[in-house]
């Protein structure tokens, strides 16, 4: 379904009718090595060849580098899940790293093979720790690639990458997996009452902020919206919050991976700077049967436009915000 807007034309990123779906599989590499360096992840066979189907970025450069750290050897079976060392982002964690655990489950490997260790990109923030805890993986069995960027295992188990070569990054099975883990009866209702109208703020982040947010919040409060910073609550609480919402307004943000927890028919209004437009949450909205709207804001220049090309700050025109709210039936 197309994203809806008050613009005369739908922005090109929201006009695609089809997306390629990459094949999903699990590779088993005996005596394999896994290496992570900056934006690159590579798995190397025992005869020193790159497994290209599960490599990212400049794998050939890593394999020929003389500056790699010593190999950390593990005499056991290791699930190798990093994407790259630099990812410290909620969306990328959920949909590029964490959902690949479901491939291990679907292939029955977790029930037929004892996996001794799980290698993740990093686990320093709250959300990776909470997610791993939900899977009941012991902290003693977790290895962080940022600390051990080169490992060798008796057997390396590697789920395929999501979004490989421009394919669809979010799939129905991803969404079912996340919902099954976090939308449990005991989690629903963790908040004191359902909040049907939600505005998600980025005020705790250094970029892609709404500059005139106080004006936006004052307007939305009159229409019954509450303001939420997702960083302030747990993943389970975020899931519960989203499951009760009927309309959500937000500037583009990684926390909107949580749209996966919304019920079909929820209305989503995404706010963009013309300098940075990403259609991933429109795709997610389609898969979860949500109604997606997008509001294009005026060009705005500040230091963040240079510092963070992917995160320019935004000024929202209140009249245009009211128009898109009216379009959404609010």
The whole-number pLDDT of residue 41 equals 85
The whole-number pLDDT of residue 326 equals 96
Farthest CA pair distance, the chain: 66
| Contact yes or no for 87/78 (Cβ under 8 A) | no
Query: How many other C-beta atoms lie within 10 A of the C-beta of residue 47?
Result: 6
The whole-number pLDDT of residue 328 equals 94
Task: Quote the pTM value.
Answer: 0.89
Which of the 8 DSSP states describes residue 273? B
The whole-number pLDDT of residue 11 equals 83
Distances (CA, A) of 221 to 118, 198, 267: 45, 10, 17
Beta-ladder partners of 35: 42, 150
Return d(Cα 146, Cα 61) in angstroms, integer: 19
| Contact yes or no for 252/208 (Cβ under 8 A) | yes
The list of the chain residues with pLDDT below 50 reads none
Write out 204-252 in H/E/C secondary structure: CCCCCCECCHHHHHHHHHHCCCEEECHHHCCHHHHHHHHHCCCEEEEEC
Helix (H) or strand (E) holding 157: strand 150-159
In sequence order, the 6+-apart residues with CB closer than 8 A to the CB of 105 are 111
**Order of strands, edge to edge, in the sheet holding 247-251?**
226-228, 197-200, 247-251, 267-272, 291-296
The whole-number pLDDT of residue 8 equals 87
| Contact yes or no for 150/34 (Cβ under 8 A) | yes
Beta-ladder partners of 298: none
Helices (H) and strands (E) in the chain, counts: 11, 12
The whole-number pLDDT of residue 311 equals 78
Beta-ladder partners of 272: 296
Query: How many other C-beta atoms lie within 10 A of the C-beta of residue 71?
Result: 13
> What are the structural domains, with CATH classification, of the chain?
12-18+187-327 (3.40.50), 26-167 (no CATH)
């Amino acid at each position: 379904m197309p994203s809806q807007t008050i613009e005369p034309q739908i922005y090109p990123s929201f006009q695609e009718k089809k997306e390629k779906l990459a094949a999903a599989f699990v590779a088993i590499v005996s005596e394999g090595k896994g290496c992570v360096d900056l934006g690159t992840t590579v798995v190397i066979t025992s005869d020193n060849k790159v497994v290209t189907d599960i490599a990212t970025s400049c794998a050939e450069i890593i394999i020929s580098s003389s500056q790699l750290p010593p190999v950390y050897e593990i005499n056991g079976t290791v699930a190798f899940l990093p994407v790259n060392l630099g990812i410290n982002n909620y969306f990328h964690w959920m949909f590029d790293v964490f959902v690949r655990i479901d491939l291990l489950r679907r292939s029955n490997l977790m029930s037929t093979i004892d996996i001794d260790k799980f290698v993740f990109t990093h686990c320093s923030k709250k959300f990776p720790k909470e997610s791993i805890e939900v899977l009941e993986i012991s902290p003693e069995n977790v290895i962080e690639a940022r600390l051990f960027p080169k490992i060798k295992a008796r057997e390396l188990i590697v789920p395929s990458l999501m979004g490989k070569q421009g394919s669809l990054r979010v799939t129905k099975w991803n969404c079912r997996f996340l919902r099954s883990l976090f939308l449990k009866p005991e989690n629903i209702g963790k908040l004191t009452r359902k909040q049907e109208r939600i505005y998600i703020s980025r005020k705790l982040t250094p970029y892609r902020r709404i500059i005139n947010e106080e004006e936006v919040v004052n307007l939305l409060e009159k229409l019954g919206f509450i303001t939420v910073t997702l960083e302030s609550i747990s993943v389970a609480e975020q899931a519960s919050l989203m499951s009760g919402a009927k309309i959500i307004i937000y500037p583009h943000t990684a926390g909107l991976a949580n749209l996966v927890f919304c019920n079909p028919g929820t209305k989503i209004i995404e706010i963009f700077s013309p300098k940075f437009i990403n259609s991933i949450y429109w795709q997610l909205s389609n898969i979860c049967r949500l109604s997606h709207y997008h509001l294009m804001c005026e060009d705005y220049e500040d230091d963040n436009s240079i510092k963070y090309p992917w995160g320019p700050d935004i000024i929202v025109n209140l009249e245009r915000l009211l128009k898109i709210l009216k379009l959404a039936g609010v």
